[in-house]
Amino acid sequence: MDHTSHHTSHQAAPQDAHPDSHHTSHHTSHQTSHHDMGTNAMALSATLHCLTGCAIGEILGLMIGTALGLSNLATIAIAVGLAFLFGYALSTLPLLRAGLGVGAALTVVLAADTLSIATMELVDNLVMAAIPGAMDAGLVNPVFWLSMMLALTAAFFAAWPVNRYLLARGKGHALTHGYMDAEPVGARRFIPALTTSALVAAITAFMLGGLVVSIADELGASSTTGHALAPDHPAPETGTDTGTGSGQLALLRSS
């Protein structure tokens, strides 16, 4: 009897342990999934910061290059430099808001964003160079804005995995994450907090606005050209001149 009881309890032990093991495995899987979602969200925010800065810098660089009549190479160099400048600036603002000094914030941002911005600029300029006429199109040409949208989209998908890779290893924007929960004090409260949704709205409005203006300018130019090429049809002579001619003819007949 004792032997049977002992044998039964011995068989039941592994069955009791199995639910605990399954629960632990499920909990670990849930934690991993939650961590991946957090990493993806951070990578999205980091990439959008870089993308917005790159878009502003490249548009401004093109404006400067066009105004000064510079070559494509010189214009690209200015645009890339400004893209890095604005990309760093947008990533520095949250750190300044959190209480860091300018020097400390720039040090963190240089380590966090350089690889991401470099990847984005490389892909963006390669796509722009590959599209016929994109580099020579002006700001009021729809070809430029459509090409820029395509190039920035490709740059986003190229930089996002780079940011995610760095974040998963505690690098990149992970270096700035520890400062994001700090409550701003004093004048730092007036530094804007750039959320992901705000960045998406800003870059979408920026690109669509440029496209709409360029299309409107294109339509206006076509309308003006059409009016300029339209032939002039002189109106037939009527009124006094016709009457005078008829009177002269009547005098000739009477004579």
What pLDDT score was predicted for residue 31? 47
Q: Tell me which residue of 104, 116, 114, 97 sits closest to 182, measured CA to CA.
A: 97
Please list the ranges in the chain whose pLDDT falls under 70.
1-37, 173-174, 177-182, 225-255
pLDDT for position 160: 92
Residue 45 CB-half CA count within 13 A: 22
> Angle at Cα 152 formed by Cα 82 and Cα 140, nearest 5°?
75
In the chain, what is the straight-line distance between the N-terminal and C-terminal CA atoms, in Å? 159
pTM value is 0.68
Task: Round to whole Å and give the CA distance between 167 and 43.
Answer: 7
The CA-atom distances, in angstroms, between 70 and each of 25, 63, 182, 243 are: 62, 10, 45, 65
| Residue 41, pLDDT score | 82
Q: Which among 131, 116, 142 has a CA at the least distance from the CA of 45?
A: 116
Q: What is the pLDDT of residue 124?
A: 92
Which pLDDT belongs to residue 179?
66
